[in-house]
A and B are shown apart, each in its own frame.
Chain A
Amino acid sequence: MKKACFGLLVLLGWLCLVASTPAYAAKPVVAIVGFQSRVSDTNVNIEQDEMLGIPVGVLYTELNDPAFPFEVKDLSDATTQHRMEEIRLFNDLGNGRIDPALQKKADFLIYGYLTNISSIKAQSGALGLKGKDKTVDLELSMRVVDAHTGRVVFIATADSRRKSELKYNAILTRNDSGEDDAVQKALSIAATNLAAKFKKAA
């Protein structure tokens, strides 16, 4: 009788555990709100709005890993308008008001930024032996905000450099260019590095 009582109580305990544990308690949800440009002027000739989708995709793919202790969501389409009023959003969160677009959708929000994109020219050589190149230098940063308190809890930055043009003339002549490809690759690498830093911290 005593053993049966003991067994029943243990079973009850486990039932309580399984039935009352909310999903987020096991795996908090982290949502990617999107990337925004802080760059006001650049000598790289591309559409910034179009390319800001690239790091969102890379970050989502990298973080959507069974070993990562968060469930990952991409809210970038739904929250474009809210990104425009980011400081108001932060202040609301800080004052305990959650934006309706984010209500109960996540425990942590990832805000991404393009903080630098520019082209660096370099030249060297003499007479017939000379070379010129252009390098795309790009930097991203990421802030993770607790969606319940509005407090920033994690910050990371990552940069990447890719050659966009290469010209040299030394016995052989070479003339390569591809700024769009260089920017896309640099964005992917920087976003992958951001994801790696976040995974390491999580």
Chain B
Amino acid sequence: MGRKLAFLCGLITFMFSLVATPAEAGFLQQAEGDRVMLAEVQSYGDYELKPAFFQTLADKLAQLLSEQKVPLVYCDSADMTNENGRHSTGNASGTDETLSRIHMDAIVRGHQFNYGFAAAKLIRYADAVVGRKHFYDDAAVKVWREHPAQLYHLTPAVQEQAQQVAKQNGAKYLLFVNDKDVDVRLKHTMFATRTERETRGKKMKASLDYYIVNTETGNVYEGHCDNKKTAQMLNLAIVQTGKGMSVDEMLNQVMEAQANDVAKDFCQNGFPAVKS
């Protein structure tokens, strides 16, 4: 009798547990492992793009990392460009401001920080943290690029803030992307086809740094990629050749290449380095 009663209770409990469990979507079942939060995709260089471009870069990167089974989470404000935090002068909400501060700390403590090509907000932060004695050292950067897996530490107070933000969002690692420079040069050759302004020959160069922060140890991995794209239509005597496209199209293709490079380096070098 006792066994039957226990079985019955078990059965009813099981049924109630079914009732209480809502169906869960497949994309909510994250890949296993400590989670990475896509914290901020922005520019802290002295040139800036419109926020829409950073949103698109964030989308491309998120998709590529998800395809690589990286357990990604996103900030609950859903603005991965963190426009509020990036452009605030101290009056943004707590998380926005903190994310911007962590990103800036990772940049100024990193290997490539250069006062000459930094946004005004980043310069002010660097003045307070590393001081004007800091200078960009070509030789040191060259050595670092040969051994890119050299980690460094966040400022201890900033690491504590990073830990809190990560914990609030169920993550252990924070990923920051600094799309610091995009440069377009018009090309002129005597053979160039005379076309409208949008499709005239041009060359685009873009530089991007990215940072993976292990919030438990405070270790940071810094990655870097340079990408180029050229488009020009040429009439060489009797021969016609080449392609022409708008600046927006070139930028879209460059961002695709940047996202690919970051995702590849993230999985092969960056993530294993900060995990260890």
- Say whether A69 contacts B23, CB under 8 Å: yes
- Say whether A16 contacts B55, CB under 8 Å: no
- Say whether B59 contacts A16, CB under 8 Å: no
- Shortest Cβ distance from B47 into chain A, in angstroms? 16
- Say whether A150 contacts B15, CB under 8 Å: no
Contact of A123 with B249 at beta-carbon distance under 8 Å, contacts A17-B18, A28-B25 already known:
no
- Say whether B78 contacts A94, CB under 8 Å: yes
- Say whether B63 contacts A157, CB under 8 Å: yes
A47 to B22, CA, bound (A): 42
A96-135 CB contacts (< 8 Å) to partner B: 108, 113, 115-116, 118-127, 130, 132
B226-275 CB contacts (< 8 Å) to partner A: 233, 238-246, 248-249, 252
A14 to B12, CA, bound (A): 9
Give the residues in chain B near A143, CB-CB below 8 Å: 59, 78
Give the residues in chain A near B60, CB-CB below 8 Å: 141, 157
Contact of A125 with B59 at beta-carbon distance under 8 Å, contacts A13-B15, A43-B246, A151-B74 already known:
no
A10 to B238, CA, bound (A): 88
- Shortest Cβ distance from B220 into chain A, in angstroms? 24
- Say whether B77 contacts A25, CB under 8 Å: no
Using an 8 Å CB-CB cutoff, how does the interface string of A77-108 with B read, 1 for contact, 0 for none?
A: 00000000001001101100000000000001
Give the residues in chain B near A90, CB-CB below 8 Å: 77-79
Give the residues in chain A near B58, CB-CB below 8 Å: 155
Interface size, B (range): 35 or more
Give the residues in chain A near B116, CB-CB below 8 Å: none
A23-40 CB contacts (< 8 Å) to partner B: 24-28, 38-40
Stretch of B99-107, B159-167, B192-200 with 4 or more beta carbons under 8 angstroms from chain A: B192-200
Contact of A41 with B248 at beta-carbon distance under 8 Å, contacts A27-B23, A70-B25, A126-B238 already known:
yes
Partner of B59, one of A9, A20, A124, A157: A157
Partner of B245, one of A9, A121, A144, A149: A121
- Say whether B199 contacts A43, CB under 8 Å: yes
Using an 8 Å CB-CB cutoff, how does the interface string of B161-201 with A read, 1 for contact, 0 for none?
A: 00000000000000000000000000000000101101100
Q: Does A156 contact B (CB under 8 A)?
A: yes
Partner of B249, one of A9, A91, A118, A156: A118
- Shortest Cβ distance from B140 into chain A, in angstroms? 37
Contact of A17 with B15 at beta-carbon distance under 8 Å, contacts A6-B4, A143-B78, A150-B78 already known:
yes
In the complex, residue of chain A having the shortest beta-carbon distance to the beta carbon of B93? A91
A127 to B211, CA, bound (A): 53
In the complex, residue of chain B having the shortest beta-carbon distance to the beta carbon of A151? B76
A155 to B195, CA, bound (A): 38
Contact of A120 with B79 at beta-carbon distance under 8 Å, contacts A16-B19, A153-B28, A157-B59 already known:
no
Using an 8 Å CB-CB cutoff, how does the interface string of B56-69 with A read, 1 for contact, 0 for none?
A: 10111011001000
Q: Does A139 contact B (CB under 8 A)?
A: yes
Give the residues in chain A near B22, CB-CB below 8 Å: 24-25, 28
Partner of B52, one of A9, A17, A38, A119: A38
- Shortest Cβ distance from A68 into chain B, in angstroms? 11
- Say whether B77 contacts A122, CB under 8 Å: no
A201 to B23, CA, bound (A): 15
- Say whether A9 contacts B8, CB under 8 Å: yes
- Say whether B77 contacts A115, CB under 8 Å: no
- Shortest Cβ distance from B219 into chain A, in angstroms? 26
In the complex, residue of chain B having the shortest beta-carbon distance to the beta carbon of A156? B63
Give the residues in chain B near A26, CB-CB below 8 Å: 23
- Say whether A121 contacts B233, CB under 8 Å: yes
- Say whether A16 contacts B15, CB under 8 Å: yes
A130 to B239, CA, bound (A): 9
A-B contact pairs, 6 of them (CB 8 A): A17-B18, A17-B19, A90-B79, A113-B59, A143-B78, A151-B78
Lowest 9 A-B CB distances belong to which pairs? A38-B52, A90-B78, A118-B249, A152-B74, A94-B76, A155-B62, A121-B244, A141-B59, A201-B27
Residues of A within 8 A of B (CB): 2, 6, 9-10, 12-14, 16-17, 20-21, 24-28, 38-43, 69-70, 87, 90-91, 93-94, 108, 113, 115-116, 118-127, 130, 132, 137, 139, 141, 143-145, 149-157, 201-202
